[in-house]
Amino acid sequence: MRKFNFSAGPCTLPVEVLHEAEQEFVDYHGAGMSLMEMSHRSAAYDEVHRGAMDRAKSVFEVPDDFEVLFLGGGATLQFAMVPLNLLTPDTRGGYVDSGAWGKKAIADGSHHGEVYVAWSGAGDGYVRMPRPEDVRLEPDTRYLHVTSNETIHGIRFPEFPDLGVPLVGDMSSDYMSRAIPWELFDVVYGGAQKNLGPAGVDITFVRRSVLEHTNRELASYLRYDVHASSASLHNTPPVFAIYMVGKVLTWMEQRGGLGAFEAESAKKAAMLYEAIDGSDGFYRSPVDPAYRSHMNIVFRLPDEALEKQFLAAAAARDMVNLKGHRSVGGVRASIYNAMPLAGVEALVELMGEFRADA
């Protein structure tokens, strides 16, 4: 029996996809070997690879002037590749410090170019994103880096700021749960291991005009143009992760695509926020309501002892991985695309019963 897995990532994947992969695992389509044992230059893998790329472009509704790249190193490598590829000695990167992940992007970026903090939510404890007028851009800003959803603090940009400089977006934790206003972005990136598949591959979308200015002094793997011109087959790609992402994207396409998952995410999140807000203060969301995440719903109980009991009561009903990140505590329900509505309903039911018994 499968549990309801509320993990923040790696996380629950569509069970249909897991079964399909299981069927194909040992003997891939009669080849007498698994896909993992084949060359990444084989015809069978090529079909998987290009299929996943095409599907990423169609399911994400990517315009023609963007390239899709499948890269190693997770979202974390993009913290470096973004400034390495976009910044020049006379330009700099502005960053929104919206929490743990925004901070890491700034720290890593600062090794590879001039970066500055254009807004910080640290003073408020990361309970909201900036309004457009809060962001302070400095001269010669090449891009503004935003984390569309801060996985640990449970906050999201309801809309992205249009400030006249291109945005770079870390969408690791809300990929394929919201439409992307492509006209605002030069680069969008994220690890797959939440809404899109297993860990091991990062999906980066780069506006093609960016590739013309890539810094040629970089090692080949660090160059966006190298990956774009080799269809992400410059070196051996993470084949299993890409194969799984292709399957998850097909699964999403069959269920109505981006619009359907955006609506479903909003609905699942609203159910949990209603349970929190309707609890007479027993459950408490620290997040400013306008910036509440649709993916990671964080909340507190009256004290830590009750939080511990709540997590144990959830585990007894096969709802697991609800503990908040160690840096902030409390409860965090990550409800990515593969979390069925039944999982959210079960959690809402538990919240009601636990409160009544407390």
Which residues are marked as active site? 101, 170, 194
The one among 18, 21, 76, 348 contacting ligand PMP by CB under 6 A: 76
Q: Residue written as tokens 């990550």?
A: 334
The one among 70, 71, 74, 197 contacting ligand PMP by CB under 6 A: 74
Task: Please report how the helices 257-277 and 341-357 are oriented relative to each other, as an axis angle in degrees rounded to 10.
Answer: 0
- Give me the least distance between CB of 260 and ligand PMP, in Å please: 23
The one among 75, 96, 188, 311 contacting ligand PMP by CB under 6 A: 75
**Could you say which DSSP state residue 324 is in?**
P
Is residue 101 close enough to count as binding ligand PMP by CB under 6 A? Answer: yes
Is residue 94 close enough to count as binding ligand PMP by CB under 6 A? Answer: no
Q: Residue written as tokens 């972005």?
A: 185
CA distances from 159 to 69, 148, 200, 336 (A): 25, 9, 29, 19
Of 101 and 143, CB closest to ligand PMP = 101
User: How would you classify the pairing of strands 185-191 and 167-170?
Assistant: parallel
The one among 151, 204, 232, 321 contacting ligand PMP by CB under 6 A: 151
Calpha distance 205→59 (Å, rounded):
13
The one among 98, 141, 147, 293 contacting ligand PMP by CB under 6 A: 147
User: How would you classify the pairing of strands 331-334 and 296-299?
Assistant: antiparallel
Chain residue at closest Cβ approach to ligand PMP: 74
Residues 169-198 that bind ligand PMP (CB under 6 A): 170, 172-173, 191
CA distances from 232 to 16, 188, 240, 275, 314 (A): 27, 16, 14, 44, 42
Residue 283: both structure tokens together: 């459950």
Q: Which stretch binds ligand PMP (CB under 6 A): 20-28, 68-76, 217-225, 286-294?
A: 68-76
Q: Which stretch binds ligand PMP (CB under 6 A): 63-71, 138-146, 166-174, 283-291?
A: 166-174
**How many angstroms separate the first and last alpha carbons of the chain?**
29
Element (H, E) at 69: strand 66-71
Of 55 and 156, CB closest to ligand PMP = 156
Of 85 and 173, CB closest to ligand PMP = 173
Is residue 334 close enough to count as binding ligand PMP by CB under 6 A? Answer: no
- Give me the least distance between CB of 102 and ligand PMP, in Å please: 8
- Give me the least distance between CB of 169 and ligand PMP, in Å please: 10
Of 5 and 310, CB closest to ligand PMP = 5
Q: Are the CB atoms for 332 and 154 separated by under 8 Å? A: yes
Calpha distance 96→105 (Å, rounded):
9
- Give me the least distance between CB of 78 and ligand PMP, in Å please: 8
**CA 213 to chain centroid:** 27
Of 152 and 276, CB closest to ligand PMP = 152
Of 192 and 275, CB closest to ligand PMP = 192
CA dihedral 340→50→151→156, nearest 10 degrees, is -90
Calpha distance 183→75 (Å, rounded):
22
Binding site for ligand PMP (CB under 6 A): 9, 74-76, 101, 147, 151, 170, 172-173, 191
